[in-house]
Amino acid sequence: MNTQAIKKIVIVGGGTAGWLAANHLAKNITSKQPDGVEVMLIESPNIPTIGVGEGTVPLMRQSLQALGISETEFITECDATFKQGIKFVNWQNNPIVDKPEYYHHAFDYPNLALTPYWLLHKSKHKNSHESATSFADAVTIQAKICDAGLAPKLITTPEYQGLTAYAYHLDAGKFATILTRNAVEKLGVQHLRAEVRSVNLADNGEIKSLNTDTLGEIEADFFVDCTGFKALLIGDALKVDFVDKSDVLFADHAVTIQIPYDNENAEIPSYTISTALECGWVWDIGLKQRRGIGHVYSSKYISHDQAEAQLRAYVGKAADGVNSRLIAMKIGYREKFWHKNCVALGLAQGFVEPLEATGLLVFDVTAKMLAEQFPSTKAEMPLVAQQFNKNVRKSWDNVIDFVKLHYCISQRNDSQFWLDNRDPNSIPETLKEQLERWKFQPPTQYDFASRFEIFNLENYLYVLYGMNYPTDISLIASRLTNIDNAQQEFTHIAEQAELATSRLPTNRALIEKIHQYGLQKN
């Protein structure tokens, strides 16, 4: 049994994933203590942050607070704005010119008990001219707040607290900078700049050391691969295979553009706008100074030039003369995420298209998972690695199922891209079984029993019933005995939404006040 203590961790690669890993590890293993584990990050001076998409989910708020980062500082330094969910435009049916349809995937936890009653109410309006209230409007106040362009809190609300659940839109490069400063100055992480040229393996197959261009050979007990799609350690050196998932999720490229606002007082939506197109979708994210817009698409169905033309058509004249950036995406994940004395995080671990802000979400979750169960000795490593691999694979499969859900329950048939996405042969068996079951009763918490589901019951409900999934509620209608109570709750939510929209500032107004005055500390 190898009882050798793990005393030095080297993270290879910076960017958001590398610095999230550095922060979580250093925070959890007290690297500043005399007997603590040394955490070192080696970053190439020549590789920019990819930053595909700039959206987060509410878990990021918890991470920032746990890492001791001031919310005021984060917002002012990262060009950040508030995000309360995603507005999905034209995902359900073929688009009608000048008549976009949409639904909200809100971040607020809905009143789950109301779901069957909303379905019952909706079924009664099926043949009526009166339209039923949308699912998000019925079960939460947040959709109304989003439609009104409002923020999730007041300037007097303390840091990291809000009237509704929220996350952020941010500048990925500036976010990496603030994470770097926090890790180095507060948590004692060593930051080195060098190019890793090659990896040296020990006789037992573990990584022994790294050869760099300017710092010579660097040894460590444990290595974290944050080298992006190159996967220099986990892929090139340790030969862990990549599991391709492009047969399930077809989007493999993104063309992106950054557009300044027409004027400095332009309103900022407090949600990501995700608009479905013929062969993919466009994200539209409002930061304080600019919009970040990208067309995610499948090169099997559309050329790069056509994809860029569709992006520029979406933006309009503001895109004239503005350079775009093309990003190739490798869809899938590693066969193992922890092998020998190396863990892959970030793009080296896996990636799917940035729908639902999956990238930063999985990077943060798995970095935290590694930090909180990090072994003390080499002897513990194989057992911890086995559990880590099992949990992370489950997380990735859950993410892939959830992203696929948005496509496969769509009624769009205006291109081969959408027809192929609806083909049962492209739908994972796990998702297919759930969808069949949900035709007869709405999802419940028992469908999401694992703690490692990245997306859970509430997320599925917003998408399923935002897209009018056909659950036949008549089969269980006789069990719904609290109709009066449910109606009272629907009325209460509507009244609370009206009250909130009368009190909250716009997203732009609150961000400007935070830059001017800052938020209260807890």
CA atoms of 363 and 344, how far apart (whole Å): 10
CA neighbor of 70 nearest in space, from 206, 226, 178: 178
CA atoms of 184 and 385, how far apart (whole Å): 27
CA atoms of 522 and 519, how far apart (whole Å): 9
CA atoms of 245 and 397, how far apart (whole Å): 10
CA neighbor of 166 nearest in space, from 72, 77, 56: 56
CA neighbor of 392 nearest in space, from 410, 412, 373: 373
Q: 8, 27, 83, 439: which is the annotated catalytic residue?
A: 83
Task: Scan for tokens 């080696």, then name that residue.
Answer: 42
CA atoms of 85 and 492, how far apart (whole Å): 22
DSSP string, 410-432: ----SSHHHHHHH-GGGS-HHHH
CA atoms of 227 and 64, how far apart (whole Å): 23
Residue 222: partners with Cβ closer than 8 Å, 6 or more residues away = 6, 8, 9, 10, 341, 342, 343
Task: Scan for tokens 């444990």, then name that residue.
Answer: 222
Contact 53, 294 (CB under 8 A): yes
CA atoms of 488 and 142, how far apart (whole Å): 18
Q: Clarify whether 340 is annotated catalytic.
A: no
Write out the catalytic residue numbers.
Answer: 83
